[in-house]
Amino acid sequence: MAAESNTFDVIIVGGGTAGLVVASRLSEDPALEVLVLEAGPDPKQLPEKLMRALLTPAANTQLHKTPVDWNLKTVPQINLKDREINFPQGRMLGGSSGLNGLMFTACAQAVVDGWAALGNTGWEWPAFSQSLMETYTVAKAPPSFAARSNSKGPLKVAYADDCISAWPKVWADTIESLGLPGTQNILTSQAVGGLVIPDTVDPTIGMRSYAVNAYLTPETRSRNNLAVRTGTEVKRVLFSKPDNADGDAVATGVEYTEYTTGATKTAIARRQVIISSGTFGSPKILELSGIGDARRLEAKNIIADVPGVGENLQNHPMTLVSFEVVDDAPPTKDSFLRAAVRQDQEVLGFAMKEYMEHHTGVFASSGVTSAALLPLPGLDTPAGKQDLESLLSSTETPTGGPFSVAHEKFVRSILSSPSEASGYYIFGPAYPTYNAGGTNGLPPLDGSENNYITIVCMLAHPLSRGSVHVVGTGNEQKLVIDPRFLSHPLDLEIMARHVQFVEQSLATTEPLARLLKPGGKRAIGAPSAGALKDINVAKEFIKDHVVGAHHYTGTCSMLPREMNGVVDPELRVYGTANLRVCDASVTPLTPRTNPQATVYAVAEHGAKIIKRSLLTN
């Protein structure tokens, strides 16, 4: 049947988060023969150590820089003092849904309606939010937190046991002391304030819930009309050129390489080719297939001149501030982290035993349950409003084309609204676990027994946009990623004010304030206590320590062609008749928080659009 065939109705390039959602939904129709081609391995074939790290909620960073990680890195970032930033991305069936930090946060209505306002009819909030609800089921929530949801999707979402423990309560009460709600449901609330964040974990087995075990179930895999081939890297999409210069090219299949044999093969598509290779992989395949900016492509191989391919790369810049806590503060996770650094097998073994037997303890969740979405600090005061007006008036209107103008208008509206968030904060009772290169790991072992809390600060709506492009030919070919962090002057200004807010407001508000040691230690390389009051110190701190969150979007944006768009609202690539892109790369405005839920929802929504197209054509 489909497994042995080389001709299919639909070929999906990429078996990651979005690709498996689309494959699962399209193959529900037994009349459609669907092929998925994935460069990485099937998790079932992984060594036991990697498989355990994949499924154990708190072990995801053990997958970084392994065969299931594309292990990407940016070019030196001029505004971050020429630092290169590591960008992990899943290279396996399930993609980054098997590699990420599990946090499941719904996209803001303002962002989704912003997509629609850019010319994307059919992507308005009521329809998109319904697609989001179809992705997940809340499988576990504490009695004190009403996770009301009508969702009934295949992905399992659970609130960790410690989301109502001592430190999360301190965080929530501190946010409430600032006059904002302290414990909102990120899946149903659009308001600013404190948040309780669930993980993509199946609590019945205590393991990661991700695209493979949610959408590519044994029942789905057994469909006669679905073939999934791993270890197959697609090199290009094949086309039949139109009869006239104004016609659209027709995708007829793909050329791919089998890693095991080294053989180059061709798969034929009767009806559609769908690229779901992610924010970095999808523009790469388009450019290798002759679709992109004609000035970048080899003239003889140009299929369609689409200059937006690989442009509009968006990512949240983030940094953190840590505070040493008083001796009688609630327990933090630092003692466990120190044991992990020492490779203390007794401590680690006990924690793993608790996890394996009871699905509880430090290994049972992401460890991140508390967060906040906050407006620009001071916006509720005359001085704060004047500060923002001064910032906005001193920043020139962009000249980069219609989308640059629209993007800036959108972000300025967010910055000016007390009911919208420009800062995303994540709270954790532990020392920070990444360095200035963006590499996740464990904190240094300095011989002390100090305990800390850490507040991560992200810019929710960055204006800086970068690019990803294929450079070179043949064996010299490589992917060049340049996020251009902080290239827009407003980003540094806004982020500096949020970083100042961490020290000057959050850390001085009860009950958090009484638990922080006066003049206590900070993270290595951080300014001394009180130094961030000087905004220039805050800016230098950001330049020294900002890294990119693993929240990459935008490089095949769903925009009108005159706005440098790559796909239309039906996800069809401009200049082609039947080639589509469906993944995080199509979102023209990045979500304000972790994009995992948004990617699933984009795939569900896109699958409906593609299904409808296949039925009518």
Positions at the binding site for FAD: 234, 595-596
Give how far Cα 576 sits from Cα of 244, 249, 321, 531, Å: 13, 5, 48, 55
SS3 of residue 144 by DSSP? coil
Give how far Cα 361 sits from Cα of 63, 101, 341, 572, 607, Å: 20, 17, 18, 46, 38
492's enclosing H/E stretch is helix 489-504
The sign of the CA dihedral 553, 235, 286, 238 is negative
CA distance 484 to 461: 14
Query: Per the omega criterion (within 30 degrees of 0), is the bond before 432 cis?
Result: no
Cβ-contact 561, 550 below 8 angstroms: no
**AA letter at 172:** A
Which two three-digit tokens encode residue 456?
A: 């991560």
CA distance 392 to 394: 5
Cβ-contact 315, 483 below 8 angstroms: yes
Exposure letters 344-380 (e unless 16+ CB within 10 A, then b)? eeebbeebbeebeeebebbbbbbbbbbbbbbbbbbbe
Q: For residue 143, what are the contacts with CB-CB under 8 A and spacing of at least 6?
A: none
Report which of 616, 615, 612 is spatially closest to residue 122, judged by C-alpha positions.
612
Burial (0-12, 13-18, 19+ Cβ within 10 Å), 82: exposed
Measured in Å, how far apart are the chain's first and last C-alpha atoms?
Answer: 24
Report which of 594, 614, 611 is spatially closest to residue 17, judged by C-alpha positions.
594
54's enclosing H/E stretch is helix 48-55
Burial (0-12, 13-18, 19+ Cβ within 10 Å), 218: exposed
392's enclosing H/E stretch is helix 382-394
Which two three-digit tokens encode residue 40?
A: 């990485």
Cross-strand pairs, 267? 254
CA distance 351 to 360: 9
